[in-house]
A and B are shown apart, each in its own frame.
Chain A
Amino acid sequence: MNKILALLAAALALGGLPALAADPLADITVAANAVPGFAGFSAERGARFFRTPGGSWSCSTCHSDDPRRAGRHAVTGKPIEPMAPAVNPRRLTDPARVEKWFRRNCKDVLSRECTAQEKGDVITYLRSMGR
């Protein structure tokens, strides 16, 4: 019985830890590195991208000009929690979640997916913000 519990605990630890530690920026960096001429991510470029409208929307339309504040969905009015990890530590911690929303929101804003460069810039920008 104890042996089984120990095995279970070990399996949980093995399965659980990497998931907790996974950084959404890791895969994005791998993808960006594969593009010739890649020279790193920039918080400044990310900040500009965040506020630049594609069609009628920019990221800041729903996520607020100041990502340390709550935003509001442009169509439904639903409040959206702040995007800056400094004030909302759950942000940018789950790679699958981050990928899903980049895919959807970039299509809504730009009518295309974001490039790895753009995604990395935005994450770098959001993480650069203090409280």
Chain B
Amino acid sequence: MPASRSHERAKARPAWIPGLLIAAALAIPAAPAAVLADGGRRSPDDPAWREECGSCHVAYPPRLLPAQSWRRIMATLDRHFDADASLEPGRARGIEAFLVANARQASSESALRITGTGWFRREHDEVAGLFSSAAVGNAANCGACHPQAEQGRFNEHEIRLPGGNKR
């Protein structure tokens, strides 16, 4: 959390040297796992987002996809992965602003699916065989293995695989 705040400050005042140093430190370990390492980070929240984007699946935290992905998703809600998730335009605009402001940085990807991104596949290659099991159903059912998914937490120490195998 402190890291991302200084990052914002760094963006606002590019001449500020300590800020630049922190920004550089953030940019170097750009390996996806490091960017996403969850270590106790609190997810930003927004009530409209939680309500509207958390009803059919867990509300996937904004940091899991880049801004371009969120824009594409928000522009096609009426045919959202074969579901109608359409929203009243004013409400959709507010949610889009929240998603874009907190989106994943430093990515040229615009995948529509978190489960289709490179980092997701790499993090999950060991458990990919479980995705289609009866207890999980599908990779997008994050909560089946990440009990704190509703809180936006995917920390590797909090994983509970279906069948009771704690990790």
Contact = CB atoms under 8 A, between A and B. Distances in A.
Interface stretch (A19-27, A28-36, A37-45, A72-80): A72-80
Contact of B57 (A78, A104, A105, A107): A78
Contacts of B140: 76
A77 B83 contact: no
B138 A76 contact: yes
Contacts of A103: 84, 86
Contact of A104 (B84, B137, B141): B84
Contacts of A76: 56-57, 137-138, 140-141
A66 B57 CA distance: 21
Contacts of B85: 104
Nearest to A72: B137
Interface of A: 73, 75-78, 103-105, 107-108
Interface string B131-149: 0000011101101100000
Interface string B106-122: 00000000000000000
Contacts of A105: 84
Contacts of A75: 56, 81-83, 138
A114 to B, nearest CB: 13
A103 B138 CA distance: 26
Nearest to A73: B56
A108 B57 contact: no
A73 B57 contact: yes
B56 A107 contact: no
A78 B136 contact: no
Interface string B50-88: 000000111000000000000000000000011111100
B110 to A, nearest CB: 22
Residue in B84, B138, B140, B144 with the greatest tally of chain A CB atoms within 10 Å = B84
Given A76-B57, A78-B57, A78-B141, A108 B136 contact: no
A105 B143 CA distance: 23
Contacts of A77: 136-138, 141, 144
A103 B58 CA distance: 21
A75 B72 CA distance: 21
Given A76-B138, A78-B58, A78-B143, A104 B86 contact: yes
B57 to A, nearest CB: 4
